[in-house]
Amino acid sequence: MVEIAAVAIDAETLSTREVNALIRSRLQGGATEIIVENPNARHNLAVALLQPGRVRFLGSVGYYCGGLMDGAEIHVQGSAGWGLAESMSHGSVVVHGGAGNGAAAAIRGGTVVIHGDAAARLGVSMKGGLVLVGGDCGYMAGFMGQKGTLVVCGNTGAAFADSMYATTCYVGGAIGNLGTDAVIETLTPEEAGMLNGLLAEHLPPAVRATKPAGRDFKKVVAGRKLWNFDKHNWKTWQDAL
Amino acid sequence: MCGILGYFRKHPGTDAQLGATMLNMLQALGRRGPDSAGVALVGPAHRAGCIVRVTAGGELEMTPQAIEANREAIQVFAASLHGASDLSSIGGYVRFVLNGDVDLLAFTQAIESIGEGIEVLSIGHAMELSKEVGTPHLLEGKHHISAFAGTHGIGHTRLCTESMVDLSHSQPFWGRGAADVAIVHNGHITNYHQLRRKYEQRGVRFMTENDSEVLAVYLAESLNRGETLRQGLDGVLRDMDGAYCCLAVTATEMGFVKDPYAFKPLVVAETDDFVAVATEEIAIRSALSGDYEVSEAQVEEVRVWSR
Amino acid sequence: MKNEASHLARPLLQTSGTYSPDVMQGIHTKAETGIYEIRGYGTLRPRRWATFDDLTFLPCGLTRIPLEGYREKCSTRTVLGGRFAKRPLELEIPIMITGMSWGALSYNAKAALAKAAAKVGTSNTTGDGGLSPAEREFARDYVYEVLPSRYGIDVHDLRGASAIELTIGQGAKPGTGGLLLGSKISETIAHQRDLPVGVDQRSPARHPDMLGPDDMVIKIEELREATDGQVPIFVKLGASRTYDDVKLAAKCGADVVVVDGMEGGTGASPAILQEHTGIPTLAAVCEARAALEDCGLYGEVQLIIAGGIRDGVDAAKAMALGADAVYIGTAALISLNCNKPLYVEDYQALGTEPYHCHHCHTGRCPVGITTQDPELMKRLDIEEGAERALNLLRAMTLEIQMLARACGKSDVHHLEPEDMAALTMEASIICGVPLAGTRKVFGR
């Protein structure tokens, strides 16, 4: 039997610098689970965590929670501000509530799961990894996405998957409208199975039950008309530029 | 550029000839600098009070009527102060003693706001500063330096270089906000503007465009921070660039600092009775008889004498 | 009879000042391609605006004493970022290598510049592609750029940096993102940047996770958190609304503000941006300094100036006007043989000649600097290039020292605006420096 050594930190009277220093030192000291009480939606919590281990925030976090992460696991039992997990390379961040603009911005790997809704520019400039939103997402999700996988179980806002490179997007609900050079491709049975697996793995059963089945998702990728300038694609470029 | 001098009596008690000796030194140096002359003389200390010296305005910039109006206004102000005594005035100058504790900078600003052109020349328990456009002879005529009895002092004659010939650009400079601190400077501080901007950013007010003033500001800050004169002069070596020989006085000390390049001369004579420091030996020899040696101060040298 | 009329036989050529040959050629090209011209370098127009050339130094005469030019100490040591950082960046000289992406530049170019900077005791800056292996191995100090694209972003590289530079824009093309055309998105570069091979990549103009100074305050704090408050955070601005931007950057918590003026270069950009956006570097340094003074932070927040710094004179003038250090980019590349008459037929194949080439965007650099082609890159020998760049850095430093000593300064950082006079009215007005011959500062 494995004992999980859980450590509790009360952030109420500590500065952000102190909270982060405590988290790091506890992780380095071998704690496998750290519980942070009273995060009070502060910014820059758990930035640049470079060690494995789980950090659980009992409340909401502000900007850049989990930013620049390499290898840890964060749970937010509340909502998150802008730039959740920005530039993460490995690890995972799970938010039980919603997330603000630019969630998973520029991530190169790892997993970002948002049970609620995501605001504008979800996964902007993402360079790898997996982003999974249980609810809806806002304007220009997937903008300039380079690699990786973006899954939205609910509806998207306007300009979905605008100006992408090679990120693959899947939408379970309605697409507000497609962004520049975004095209819908046929979902394969393998992809439907893959989506079912992802939802089962990353969403709690009660949440997963309200979401579409894998085969009902639409797949959106780049049409590649913006990859190299060709004057015959001028109309596309006019919209993009 | 300038001639500077300092004279320090080693015996306890005041020297009735202090002013006369310094005037002689000043006159000998005068040919180096015909544009202005000034002294900061240290006499017996007033225990509970400060001597305040104020100018009502410069003759080159203002009409006699304006100066006179200022002078009267200053006198009225001084007379109204609780704790002011020994009020006197000569020409465009007003002198009085202010008893009790006072915030020097605030008090200075209060006097200077009485009228355009009014400037506090010095405040000190023992130090009194006089300076005049023109020759040492004129200085004597207006301020009777030769009658001053005291323990030590510094003096200056000026050949102006980059800033103007007027009273506020003459030396010595009082370390505004610090009692009894005054400096004289021969040379040119080449990072003056940079330093000045840093001070102004912190709210320090400069009265002139003369680079020597920054030395007074610097030492005033240093002493107000609780440092010794020696520490302040060591700081000058560290933080000022360019050419300088700088002489400074406090109520009980006289000191000098010489720049790292030996661009400006400073000779020192020391006996059991006195210390005399000057830009040229002639200033010392013409005022002080006796068989003593005079030597050039060393590069980067700081020396302080205390009573 | 024929002789009398012969002087009428050949009419004089009259060239339109409005539709000059280069304008005509530009229209012809657009008519073929349907898109704007893209090229490297920066503004190519003759400089008809106030530049550093409109200022002259006033060395010592009778009122001040000069230091011996070849003998007496003149310190060049430069410390940046003491405002908040526990470990400010300490350099031996006030000249640093600016951010130029690995991608725009070849590995050999990056390596040569890293070795040269390390040897003289100064820093390199990464660029729009993350930390290159060359800098990782050879740089003494590297400034890690966090740009809108976040290409190659890596927290470990960030934490290994001596300073972080949060890039808002660059002088050649403020308000727009970088551009690297397909021929330079090789396998290696594509892997580094997480892009498909051969794509014409356009970097974003905006950061993905911050939009505006109110976000930037928090972003700067995040970068401090990520680096334990150890290293300085620079904010780099393309010179546009410089006065406002610099004030904001300083108030948002930058340790150092970098201002990159209009004359700055780039590997590839639409030509109209290089020519018609941003303000000149001379104007920018004066605006930046005024901004810092007006918010009471001059001296506390350091200023790095970039954009067309060609030699020690430009650097010294920038420093006299308020810069604590300068960045060089194009000058560093020129020291690596950019535009040298070598492999002349390859310049001609590009449609240009040595001394006139600005074709970095093609990836066919004849001297191996701005290319990803391994065969072309071989033409830039790393050790030789490092020595040449080192020589340039040293020569520039000597130039700055010479001018400082002539003005009586024992430290190059003691240069002040009052050490100069203006040669034109405009320079006098912009810099607040007297017009030579008048003792008067115009326009203030």
Residue C86 makes CB contacts below 8 A (sequence gap 6+) with C228, C229, C230
- What was the pLDDT predicted at B280? 87
Of B162, B191, B243, the CB nearest to C65: B243
Please judge whether C208 and A70 are an interchain contact, meaning their C-beta atoms are less than 8 angstroms apart: no
Backbone dihedral region for residue B57 (phi beyond 0: left; psi -120 to 50: alpha; all else: beta): left
- Mean pLDDT for A95-118 is 96
User: How many beta-carbon pairs below 8 A join chains B and C?
Assistant: 50
Burial (CB count within 10 angstroms: exposed 0-12, middle 13-18, buried 19+), residue B73: middle
pLDDT per position as a tens digit, C112-125: 999 999 999 999 99
Q: What is the pLDDT of residue B298?
A: 87
> pLDDT class for C180, splitting at 50, 70, 90?
confident
The shortest C-alpha distance from C265 to chain B (Å) reads 31
Q: Which residues of B touch C293 (CB under 8 A)?
A: 197, 201
- pLDDT score of A240: 63
- Residue B45 confidence (pLDDT): 86
Structure tokens at C259: 């201002």
Task: Please report, for residues A20, A67, C89, C229, C298, the alpha-carbon distance to residue C86 in angstroms, rounded to integers and kept in the order given.
Answer: 18, 22, 10, 6, 20
CA distance B218 to B203: 14
pLDDT at C61: 86
- Helices C107-120 & C382-406 angle (0-180, nearest 10): 40
User: Is residue A9 in some structural domain?
Assistant: no
Indicate whether C441 belongs to any domain.
no
The answer to whether residue A73 scores a pLDDT higher than 80 is yes
Sorted by sequence, the CB contacts under 8 Å of residue A218 that are 6+ apart come out as: A170, A171, A175, A184, A187
For residue C289, give how far its alpha carbon lies from the nearest alpha carbon of chain B (Å): 12
**Sorting pLDDT into bands at 50, 70 and 90, what band is C211?**
confident
* Minimum-distance CB partner of C150 among A62, A70, A106: A106
Token representation of residue A4: 């999980």
Instruction: Using an 8 Å CB-CB cutoff, list chain C residues near A50.
Output: 155-156
On the question of pLDDT at A48 being above 90, the answer is yes
pLDDT of C322 above 70? yes
CA distances from B105 to B101, B205, B298, C367 (A): 12, 10, 36, 66
- CA-to-CA separations, C338 to A82, A225, C332, in angstroms, rounded: 43, 34, 9
Q: Tell me, what's the pLDDT at A228?
A: 87
C160 and chain A in contact, CB less than 8 A = no
Question: Chain C contacts of A17, Cβ < 8 Å?
Answer: 225, 229
**Structural domains of chain B, ranges and CATH numbers in brackets:** 3-44+146-306 (3.60.20.10), 46-125 (3.30.70.100)
Interface contact flag, A231 C159, Cβ < 8 Å: no
Question: What DSSP letter does each residue of C100-114 carry, written as one string?
Answer: --BTTB-HHHHHHHH
**CA-based nearest residue in chain C for residue A103:** C209
In a domain, A70, yes or no: no
| β-pair partners for B253 | B306
Which of these, C365, C341, C363, lies nearest to C353 by C-alpha position? Answer: C341
Task: Give C-chain residues touching A68 at CB under 8 angstroms.
Answer: 155, 158, 222, 226
Q: What is the pLDDT of residues A29-44, one digit of tens each?
A: 889 899 999 999 999 9
B206-213, long-range: CB < 8 A, 24+ apart: B207/B119, B207/B168, B207/B176, B208/B163, B208/B168, B208/B169, B209/B163, B209/B164, B209/B169, B210/B163, B210/B168, B210/B169, B210/B171, B210/B173, B211/B162, B211/B163, B212/B171, B212/B173, B212/B183, B212/B184, B212/B185, B213/B173
The residue of chain B with its CA nearest to that of C408 is: B242
Please indicate whether chains C and A are in contact, defined as at least 3 beta carbon pairs under 8 Å. Answer: yes
CB contact at 8 A, B5 and B39: no
Cβ separation of C417 and B193 shorter than 8 Å? yes
Chain A residues contacting C via beta carbons under 8 Å: 16-17, 20, 43-44, 47-48, 50, 62-64, 67-70, 82-83, 86-87, 89, 101-102, 105-106, 108, 121, 124-125, 127-128, 144, 146-147, 165-166, 227-229, 231, 234, 237
**Which of A14, A22, A44, A235 has the highest number of chain C CBs within 10 A, making it the mutation to test binding with C?**
A44
Distance between CA atoms of B145 and B148, rounded to whole angstroms? 6
**Interface mutation vs chain A, best among C38, C147, C214, C222, most A CBs within 10 Å:** C222
> What tens digit of pLDDT does each residue of A79-101 get?
999 999 999 999 999 999 999 99
Burial of A112 (0-12, 13-18, 19+ CB in 10 A): buried
Token pair for B88: 């006197």
Neighbours of C302 (CB within 10 A): 27
C31 touches chain A (CB under 8 A): no
Q: Average model confidence (pLDDT) for chain A?
A: 93
A228: nearest CA partner in chain C: C200
Q: What is the DSSP-derived secondary structure letter of residue B148?
A: -
Containing structural domain, residue A159: 98-240
d(CA C119, CA C390): 7
In a domain, C68, yes or no: yes
Please report the beta strands in C193-260, taking only residues with DSSP state E, as ranges in sequence order. Answer: 201-202, 233-238, 256-260
* pLDDT at position A1: 43
Distance in angstroms (rounded) separating the CA atoms of residues C160 and C139:
11
Do the beta carbons of residue B44 and residue B150 sit within 8 Å? yes
Could you tell me if residue A75 is inside a domain? no
Q: Tell me the residue ranges of DSSP E strands in chain A.
A: 6-10, 33-37, 54-58, 70-76, 90-95, 111-114, 127-133, 147-152, 168-171, 182-185, 218-222
Neighboring chain C residues of B198 at a CB cutoff of 8 Å: 298-299
pLDDT, tens only, C61-71: 888 888 887 77
Question: On the CB side of C32, how many CA atoms lie within 13 Å of its CA?
Answer: 6
Closest to B55 in 3D by CA, of B74, B42, B40, B39: B74
Q: Do the Cβ atoms of C396 and C312 come closer than 8 Å?
A: yes
**Chain mean pLDDT for chain C:** 94
Structural domain boundaries enclosing C272: 39-431
Q: C411: which chain B residues are within 8 Å (Cβ-Cβ)?
A: 191, 241
Mutate to test the interface with B, among C60, C62, C63, C65 (most CBs of B within 10 A): C65
List chain C residues with CB under 8 Å of A108: 153-154, 194
- Tens-place pLDDT, residues B150-174: 999 999 997 665 556 666 668 999 9
> Residue C150: closest CA among chain A residues belongs to which residue?
A106
Q: Nearest CA to B169 among B180, B156, B178, B179?
A: B156
8-state DSSP, B263: -
Q: What is the DSSP letter of B298?
A: P
Compare CB distances from C298 to B191, B197, B243 and report the shortest one's residue: B197
H or E stretch covering C39: strand C38-41
Q: How far apart are CA A94 and CA A134, in angstroms?
A: 11
- Interstrand relation of B242-249 and A111-114 (parallel, antiparallel or unpaired): unpaired
Select from B190, B198, B261 the residue whose CB has the most chain C CBs within 10 Å, as the one to mutate to test that interface.
B190
User: Which of C298, C299, C414 is closest, CB to CB, to B190?
Assistant: C414
Q: What is the DSSP letter of B204?
A: P
Is chain B touching chain C, with at least 3 CB–CB pairs below 8 Å?
yes
Task: Centre a 10 Å sphere on the Cβ of residue A209 and count the other Cβ atoms it contains.
Answer: 9
CB contact under 8 A, C410 and B260: yes
Q: Say if residue C49's pLDDT is above 90.
A: yes
The residues with which B248 forms a beta bridge, in sequence order, are: B183, B255
How many angstroms separate the CA atoms of B252 and B126, rounded? Answer: 9
Asked if the Cβ–Cβ distance from B241 to C411 is below 8 Å, we say yes
Number of domains observed in the structure of chain C:
1
Q: Is residue A172 part of a domain?
A: yes
CATH number of the domain where residue C70 is located: 3.20.20.70
pLDDT recorded at residue B1: 56
* Angstrom distances, CA of residue B25 to CA of B38, B282, C116, C214: 12, 8, 59, 64
Counting residues of chain C whose pLDDT is more than 90, the rounded percentage is 86
- The per-residue pLDDT for C6 is 61
Instruction: Quote the CA–CA distance of C378 and C183 in Å, as a whole number.
Output: 17
Contacts of C409 in chain B (CB under 8 A): 190-191, 241-242
CB contact under 8 A, A69 and C34: no
Residue C190 CB contacts under 8 Å (≥ 6 apart), including other chains: C196, C197, C198, C199
Q: Which residues of A touch C194 (CB under 8 A)?
A: 108, 127-128, 146-147
Query: Does position A3 have pLDDT exceeding 60, yes or no?
Result: no
DSSP C360: G
Top-confidence residue, C153 or C62: C153
Model pLDDT, residue B35: 80
Partners of C155 on chain A (C-beta within 8 Å) are 48, 50, 68-70, 87, 89
Residues of A in contact with C182 (CB under 8 A): 228
> Rounded to whole angstroms, how far apart are CA atoms C401 and C73?
9
Distances from the Cα of A201 to the Cαs of A4, A195, A196, A208, in angstroms? 22, 10, 9, 9
Is B76:B127 a contact under the CB 8 Å cutoff? no
For residue range A129-177, list pLDDT tens digits in order: 999 999 999 999 999 999 999 999 999 999 999 999 999 999 999 999 9
In a domain, A140, yes or no: yes
For residue C14, is it within any domain? no
pLDDT at residue B243 in the model: 86
Structural domain includes residue A4 = no
Across the interface, whether the CB atoms of C218 and A16 are under 8 A apart is answered no
Contact C154 A82 (CB under 8 A): no
Rg (CA), chain A: 18
Mean pLDDT of the C224-229 span? 96
Which amino acid, residue B182?
A
Residues of chain B with pLDDT under 50: none
Of A47, A102, A144, the CB nearest to C226: A47
Q: CB of C171 within 8 A of CB of C281?
A: yes
| Contact status of C229 with chain A (Cβ, < 8 Å) | yes
Domains in chain A: how many in total? Answer: 1
Instruction: Say what percent of chain C tops pLDDT 70.
Output: 98
With an 8 Å Cβ cutoff, are A44 and C218 in contact?
yes
**ipTM reported for the complex, 2 dp:** 0.88
Two structure tokens written together for B143: 């301020």
Do the domain assignments include residue A11? no
Chains touching chain B at 3 or more Cβ pairs under 8 angstroms? C
pLDDT 10s digits, B83-131: 899 999 988 899 999 998 889 999 999 999 999 999 999 999 999 999 9
Q: Do chains B and A touch (3 or more CB pairs under 8 A)?
A: no
Q: Strand pairing of C256-260 and C233-238?
A: parallel
Taking CB atoms and an 8 Å limit, are A105 and C209 in contact across chains? yes
Residue of chain C minimizing CA distance to B195: C414
C167 and A CB contact within 8 Å: no
Asked whether the beta carbons of residue C414 and residue B260 sit closer than 8 angstroms, the reply is no
Structure tokens at C228: 């334990």
Sequence-separated (6 or more) residues with CB below 8 Å from residue B286:
B24, B25, B27, B28
- Please give the DSSP secondary-structure letter assigned to residue B129: E
